[in-house]
Amino acid sequence: MSFLSTDVFSSSLASHGWDSGWATAFAPYAAQGLLPGRVIRVDRGQCDVATAEGVIRADTAFVTPHDPLRVVCTGDWAAVDPEGVGDPRYVRACLPRRTAFARSTSSKRSEGQILAANVDHAVITVSLAVELDLGRIERFLALAWESGAQPTVVLSKADLVPDPVGLSYLVEDVETVAPGVQVLPVSSTTGEGIDVLAATVAGGTTVLLGASGAGKSTLANALVGEDVMDVQAARDVDGKGRHTTTTRNLFVLPGGGVLIDTPGLRGVGLWDAEAGVGQVFSEIEELAAECRFHDCAHESEPGCAVAAAIEEGSLSVRRLESYHKLIRENRRIVAKTDARLRSEMLKEWKRMGREGRTAMEIKRGGRGR
């Protein structure tokens, strides 16, 4: 059995994001003779791990918790068996994550699903081959901010909008729902914006997100500089494509940093993303702080600064409705795992029901009880 020094780890894994912080966190496992590595792909209970020995195949059976948010994920830093210890070798532990990109699943149990770990940049890819869905962009942004990553919105297939003025309007539309976020039109066909995006994501870990057919795999190939992902044409009618990418894969970028490509996401469910929603709708939350009542619902209350902003035209109705929708959805998700909040919501529903019945009785000429 051979053990590699920390210096060897640092030099061989630096391209995958290894740094002094990870080395410190890994020290207890190094003392046990385990080998550090970054998970570059996971499928069917096994994973590919980039180590100082090269890429190895390892089993995840020893670190398969009941919580789906704690399973081994692409981007994790793992402690694996050194060379010569068993076949297959095993992942014995994963280091605590600095960031994690998670969403709720579409199952009735509403479990969380981890999409990528230890991510610095989240590139939300939106195709210009179809009409912009601002609400969907807001969802992606909420999850990105909640993860701890810095989001960037890439408007792919920009060559399909040859009019510079028309393209600038589309960029402005997205900028209105993405405060504090870079919005970048990109074309893998012409190369427009690729160099700017490459510079933006250099030096960290980037995850590519978006719907199937948004052009993520083509963008991944452009950033990596070679055809590492298969590409299929999207349907003309709706811009959707088949799931070319079926697993999450991690690649080293030539300009520095690493890239995680993900399968197209049909559902973008929130998962305990209150802070992320607040970041996306920061202008609404700033206005809400000026409302007369601290628990203002921004509907018909007097002294509502949000309603005043809508009245004067500085805030759109669509934007407020989207905010309310995501807040309600997030509360439902959290309530399923938070008994106290679930009880509070039940009391609120009962109160609203009583008020509704009273209003109906008054309307019918009866007496409210």
What is the pLDDT, as a whole number, of residue 245?
45
Would you tell me the crossing angle of helices 134-147 and 164-176 to the nearest 10 degrees?
Answer: 50
Q: What are the pLDDT tens digits along the chain (369 aa)?
A: 444 555 555 667 999 999 999 999 999 999 999 999 999 999 888 999 999 989 999 999 888 777 777 889 999 999 999 987 777 899 999 999 999 888 776 545 556 788 899 999 999 999 999 999 999 999 999 989 988 899 999 999 999 999 999 999 999 999 999 999 999 999 989 999 999 999 998 989 999 998 878 888 899 999 988 766 555 444 444 444 444 445 789 999 998 999 999 886 666 677 777 888 999 999 999 999 999 988 888 887 889 999 999 999 999 999 999 999 998 888 887 776 655 444 554 455 455 555 555 655 665 565 444
What is the pLDDT, as a whole number, of residue 301?
84
In this structure, the number of other CB atoms found within 10 A of the CB of residue 207 comes to 29
Q: How remote is the C-alpha of 24 from its chain's centroid?
A: 27
Residue 72 makes CB contacts below 8 A (sequence gap 6+) with 39, 42, 47, 60, 63, 64, 78, 91, 94
Give residue for tokens 């391209």.
Answer: 15
Is the alpha carbon torsion for 64, 70, 71, 76 positive or negative?
A: negative
SS3 103: strand
What is the pLDDT, as a whole number, of residue 80?
95
What is the pLDDT, as a whole number, of residue 19?
93
Q: Exposed (0-12), middle (13-18) or buried (19+): which is 341, by Cβ within 10 Å?
A: middle
pTM above 0.85, yes or no: no
What are the C-alpha distances in Å from 325 to residues 60, 304, 334, 367?
A: 38, 19, 14, 34
Is the alpha carbon torsion for 245, 249, 253, 254 positive or negative?
A: negative
